[in-house]
Amino acid sequence: MAKAIIKRILDASVYDVAAETPLDHAHTLSSRLGSPLLLKREDLQPIFSFKIRGAFNKIRLLADSGVTGVVTASAGNHAQGVALSARHLGLPACIVMGRATPQIKVDAVARLGARIVLHGDTYDEAAVHATSFATETGFAYVHPFDDLDVIAGQGTVGMEILRQHTGPLSAVFVPVGGGGLIAGVGTYVRYLRPDVKIIGVEAEGAASMTHALAAKRRVRLPLDTLDLFADGTAVRQVGKESFRLARRCIDEMVTVNVDEICAAVKDVFDDTRVLAEPSGALAVAGAKRHIADHGPMANACVAIVSGANVNFDRLRHISERAESGEQREILLGVEIPEEPGSFLRFADHIGSRAVTEFNYRFDASASTRPARVLVGIQTTDDGDRRELIRSLARRYQVTDLSDNELAVLHVRHMVGGRSVGIAGEQLYRFEFPERPGALLEFLTRLGDRFNITMFHYRNHGAAEGRVLAGIALQRGDRGPFKNLMQSIGYRHWNESDNLAYRMFLD
């Protein structure tokens, strides 16, 4: 079986449109990690993603067989690969994308001459529509990852890595979505260099390969738990063919959170001056997590920077979370005396560290209570972080809110008001697919039966819209409100007992 896919990889035709990308030494990051890290620069492809390899290899074979056109469903990078490949080979192409696809990817596909259809909020919904279109038109469906010819095209990345680095190699870190890249790269590297570890990396909220390997079968992640932040790898279920190959060559899986991904985007930028998309920085985030957990590797390791199609608007969100990912920023809720000079003394205890934000509002009705401030502080490392908390805790009541999603996403932008005389207020946090008109759609579905007592929405340019809302629920309202939430279908959490809410907004 391995020999068959190896032959497909060796026979793969990708270089009519794809480039052989460099393997660059990440000097700054290597120094910090104490372990040599090489970056396989797939962000330098003509479409800024490795996806051109598999798409062209498949479509070239389809063109040779006489197909009249091609269709696919894609979050964006595979779409660009299909569009460019079809144009190069003189075939019409139709691309079905989810409505939440970043505009930069939609525009890129349009420039390549493909017909674009925006359908559904998830890849699955777009894929169903694309399959129906293929049946109706007779076009060939080009799967983004669950196809042996696509996998073979992606496998040329592994072929280049081993050709470019002939010395000792400890591991190759590979981002995982549907599994096509790790199936191709892993199979090739394992066959020629069985001593090299193949380590897959997934976002915590989209770990379909991790769950599949644990269950020893493909599993389908629930839609309401799927994290779309790293949209290029946000796949509910890995492919049948890719899982069949990947399970034989993957040594380990690593999962990383949003903050770690954002920090890895910054790391790639620091070493290359390239802005990787979240999925493109996954492997770097995984390498950092693995080394932090297990220590430096004996030899160099490779992380595949798989793409750089990042929506510029998302940089606000990425930059904001990057400091948390490196634990360079700490977000604290601190109680200080409500008296003149308190702020000065508090600032003196912080010392020379940079304060990233300081939120406070005087409450005349609570002059006998301590003042509560929400403060962001830059720290140098985990030791500095712990020492700062210990030092402040000797003088003040301190709560570390750095990992509190409510505090990080909403409360830090809202400090300054409290509920006064509002009976039955419940706090809910919502996520919904972000697209033009999404906030209006959310409010329309919420309706006007229930009184909104607090509302915060901030467009981060991310794949999900995030809302924090206070809802006044009177006697008899809880049942109907629960039914309404179930009918809306958006992910939501009751945050009424969240400490950040109690400290600053209640």
Residues acting as catalytic residues = 51, 306
Contact 283, 305 (CB under 8 A): yes
Contact 446, 484 (CB under 8 A): yes
Question: What CA–CA distance (Å, rounded) separates 143 from 149?
Answer: 10
> Angle, nearest 10°, between helix axes 148-164 and 2-11?
80
Specify the length of the chain in residues. 506
Q: Which of 171, 432, 479 is nearest to 300 (CA)?
A: 171
Question: What CA–CA distance (Å, rounded) separates 201 from 210?
Answer: 9
Q: Where are the beta strands (DSSP E) in 91-132?
A: 93-97, 115-118
Question: What CA–CA distance (Å, rounded) separates 78 from 84?
Answer: 10
54: left (phi over 0), alpha (psi -120 to 50) or beta: alpha
Helix (H) or strand (E) holding 471: strand 464-472
Contact 49, 280 (CB under 8 A): yes
34: left (phi over 0), alpha (psi -120 to 50) or beta: left
Question: What CA–CA distance (Å, rounded) separates 274 from 263?
Answer: 14
Angle CA(280)–CA(281)–CA(282) in degrees, nearest 5?
Answer: 95
Please state, as a whole number, how many other Cβ atoms lie within 10 Å of the Cβ of residue 131: 16
Question: What CA–CA distance (Å, rounded) separates 204 from 380?
Answer: 26
**CB-based contacts of 166: which residues, under 8 Å, 6+ apart?**
none
316: left (phi over 0), alpha (psi -120 to 50) or beta: alpha
Q: Which of 369, 493, 365, 374 is nearest to 426 (CA)?
A: 493
